[in-house]
């Protein structure tokens, strides 16, 4: 229930604009052939910006280890993303997150921006899953 309230709070205090921006970016990356490999990554960032509370980021190799074969291509795509978009997206989310956290009412949305920094730097191969599932995957990885 608390996650629902925080997600609603986030939606009304800036999350809607961020989510809409990422949704438009997802559609544009699907239309342009050059950016097609980044469509899934933009979609994952959209999902996290829409409902950041109660969700976490995991690498696809934790969910489906057989897909870890694509690590070389994923690394190249992440490097291109970082050089072209990632660093300035991360800086923008940090600045907005700090500005949001300056007010008591903006702290939940500020926290959301700090979560978005992590995925906006290197989004290829990242998936947004429910926090309980992410905890399970991280424990499974730790105990292997």
Model pLDDT for residues 92-121, shown as the tens digit of each residue: 999 999 999 999 988 988 988 998 999 999
% of the chain surpassing 90 pLDDT: 44
Tokens 């660093």, residue?
87
pLDDT tens, 121-138?
999 989 999 999 988 988
* Predicted pLDDT at 137: 85
**Please, is 72 exposed, middle or buried when counting C-beta atoms within 10 Å of its C-beta (0-12, 13-18, 19+)?**
exposed
Residue 83, pLDDT > 80, answer: yes
Distances (CA, A) of 64 to 39, 61, 67, 116, 140: 19, 5, 6, 23, 13
pTM summary value: 0.84
* Predicted pLDDT at 34: 86
Rounded Cα gap, residues 19 and 27, in angstroms: 12
Average pLDDT over residues 54-69: 79
Average pLDDT over residues 75-103: 91
Mean pLDDT of all residues in the chain?
A: 87
Task: Give me the residue spans of the domains in the chain.
Answer: 2-139
Rounded Cα gap, residues 111 and 36, in angstroms: 29
């Amino acid at each position: 229930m608390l996650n629902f309230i925080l997600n609603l709070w986030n939606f009304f205090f800036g999350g809607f604009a961020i989510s809409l921006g990422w949704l438009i970016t997802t559609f544009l990356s699907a239309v342009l052939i050059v950016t097609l490999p980044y469509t899934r990554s933009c979609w994952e960032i959209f999902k996290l910006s829409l409902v950041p509370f109660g969700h976490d980021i995991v690498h696809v190799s934790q969910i489906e280890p057989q897909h870890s074969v694509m690590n070389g291509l994923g690394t190249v795509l992440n490097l291109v993303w970082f050089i072209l978009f990632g660093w300035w997206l991360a800086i923008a989310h940090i600045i907005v997150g700090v500005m949001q956290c300056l007010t008591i009412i903006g702290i939940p949305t500020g926290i959301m921006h700090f979560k978005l920094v992590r995925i906006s730097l290197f989004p290829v191969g990242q998936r947004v899953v429910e926090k309980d599932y992410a905890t399970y995957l991280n424990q499974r990885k730790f105990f292997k």
